[in-house]
Amino acid sequence: MTNPNPVSVEFATCDLCDVHKNDDAGQFRVLASVFQNFGGFVKFSGPVDTVKCFEDNSLVKAAVDSAGAGRVLVVDGGASLRRALLGGNLGAAAAKNGWAGVVLDGCVRDVAELARCDVGIRALAAMPLPTEKRNTGQRDVAVQIQGVWVRPGDWLYADADGMVVMPAPMAAVKITSKKTGEQLNR
């Protein structure tokens, strides 16, 4: 079973940034441009689930082995470049189980296999060394990814230009300037 195209609504992250450029409330967040694309889909979006772990992908495996229902798994891997948190088997599981994407503040392996997976996958780098399995970490907690807070239930939008996060789906987000009281996205 392959994942259908995860983009159910048209968007461009550049356009979202233009609309929200005056968001001084911090509701609209842009992830740093340090992530590389490793998956079969460059463009993906969905509500966020989170995992926080360090060089142990036990909770990442548990997450992608569960029904994704079009969600995006955001993994705070402590920006470790020493172990891969996701490889070909877990990428295939994410696609099979309906995840729209996986974003890792850490590394992946089995790059050729990941490129064939029908799921968006972003990570810092490739690293052939697997993780230790210690069953440590946390799930469904606020995580900080390259200095940007991402919370369970946020929405993540990714395309070739980058990734942005907001507290609700695009059409539902109403952002008001703290300074002027003006609604920024009309």
CATH number of the domain to which 104 belongs:
3.50.30.40
Whether residue 2 is contained in a domain is answered as no
Give the domain extent around 130. 13-172
CA distances in angstroms from 184 to 27, 45, 107, listed in the order given: 12, 22, 36
Whether residue 179 is contained in a domain is answered as no
**91-149 tens-digit pLDDT:** 999 999 999 999 999 999 999 999 999 999 999 999 999 999 999 999 999 999 999 99
Whether residue 88 is contained in a domain is answered as yes
Are 52 and 16 spatial neighbours (Cβ–Cβ below 8 Å)? no
pLDDT at 185: 45
pTM to 2 decimal places? 0.89
How, if at all, do strands 101-104 and 72-76 pair?
parallel
pLDDT at 180: 55
Whether residue 27 is contained in a domain is answered as yes
pLDDT at 1 exceeding the cut of 70: no
pLDDT at 171: 72
Q: What is the DSSP letter of 175?
A: -
Q: Record the tokens describing residue 110, joined without a space.
A: 């089995």
Question: Cα–Cα distance between 62 and 57 in angstroms, integer?
Answer: 9
What domain count does the chain have? 1
Q: Is residue 81 left, alpha or beta, with left meaning phi > 0 and alpha meaning psi from -120 to 50? A: alpha
Whether residue 164 is contained in a domain is answered as yes
Whether residue 8 is contained in a domain is answered as no
Question: Cα–Cα distance between 120 and 105 in angstroms, integer?
Answer: 14
pLDDT at 175: 45
Whether residue 118 is contained in a domain is answered as yes
**16-64 tens-digit pLDDT:** 999 999 988 889 999 999 999 999 999 999 999 999 999 999 999 999 9
Whether residue 7 is contained in a domain is answered as no
pLDDT at 2 exceeding the cut of 50: no
Band of pLDDT at residue 170, cut at 50, 70 and 90: confident
